[in-house]
Amino acid sequence: MVREFMLRPERDGFPVNGPVAVLVFCGARGVGKTALLDALATELVRTVPHARLDCGRFRDRPVPQALAALAYQLAAPCPGYGSLRLHRSLTAQLALGPVPARHRSSARAHVAEQLDQYPKITDPRQFLAAIADDLVAAPGPAPGSALSDPHLPELLTGGVDALRRARRNRGDGRAWFGHQDRELGRDPVEVLAELNRTSRLGGSAAREVGEVLWAALLADLRDGFRPGRPAGQRALNCAVLLDDADLATGLATSLDAALGVVEPAPLTVVATTGTCGSEPVPIDRASYADHVERANRRHAPGTYLVRLGEPGG
């Protein structure tokens, strides 16, 4: 069933982007939610770019740190997909730190100075890993990962060359923040300066920052899945796995907000939660076709909530 959620729709024989699907498995402790994500993560190794976050470790951490952890993992080289260039995500992380900028004029100057450091980032994943800190494993190839494959020199070299070309052409992604695919017509550095200031606040301000960072990540993924490959290649979305997503409400609410305004993107989110909420679908009746039918009735994709185990069990 998860694979059905990850399959990209086809148009004229080529895979295209569809609405971002959010598949949530709920149930009481011990019904196998984490084991399900463990099995899924194993299946995804060397198949598609993917990321996993244990939200129990995240809890009250800043949302940008969680997004850095996800970006770090999604940017890992993967056969058939190469190395995704997440230049908007890198740009946002640069603009957000590390020194707080409290006033409008100082924030703008600080952001401009930070963005000037973009061409000096020699290892984007190492940069993201430093921000993510303990939310990701130590940088380097994991057993069985694409990085440990000795038969991928062209993939790795191509990724490095693409990053160098992007930096020479000011490929730091700042222009996107001025329009965000919504024709905003704003000064991108001013937008990034506002993000820098509001990232120090809590509540709805923090959610707004998370919304922009999610939108930036989704835009990066769309770039990495540009049309032109045969349907047999890149036929699956990227995947983000969120364990105990109900323990990181800021991350979840900012994603919901971003999905309300962004274009279709090649991403499927699979999450687990201990609370089932209203009207979850029992696992034995759950299917992608049912999700589509419910989405059509709502006139919006929405979250598909699937219950593992017995009600209240």
Domain limits, the chain: 2-307
3-state SS assignment for residue 100? coil
List C-alpha distances in Å: 68 to 77, 92, 118, 251.
Answer: 16, 10, 16, 12
Q: Whose CA is closest to 224, among 158, 293, 157, 299? A: 158
Name residues of the chain where pLDDT drops below 70: 98-105, 137-172, 227-232, 299-300, 312-313
- What pLDDT is recorded for position 312? 59
CB atoms within 10 A of CB 192: 26
- What pLDDT is recorded for position 124? 92
Report helix angle 203-224 to 249-259, nearest 10: 60
Q: For 51-87, what is each residue's pLDDT tens digit?
A: 999 998 877 788 999 999 999 999 999 988 888 999 9
- What pLDDT is recorded for position 199? 84
Q: CA 85, CA 242: separation in Å to the nearest integer?
A: 22
- What pLDDT is recorded for position 214? 96
- What pLDDT is recorded for position 156? 34
Q: What is the pTM of this model?
A: 0.85
Any idea what DSSP says for residue 7? B
- What pLDDT is recorded for position 56? 85
3-state SS assignment for residue 149? coil
- Do residues 309 and 280 touch, judged by C-beta distance below 8 A? no
- What pLDDT is recorded for position 102? 57
* Cα Rg of the chain (Å, integer): 19
- What pLDDT is recorded for position 285? 94
* Beta-strand runs (E) in 257-302: 267-273, 281-282
- Do residues 198 and 209 touch, judged by C-beta distance below 8 A? yes
Give buried/exposed letters for 119-143 (b at 16+ CB in 10 A, else e).
eebeebbebbbebbeebbeebeeee
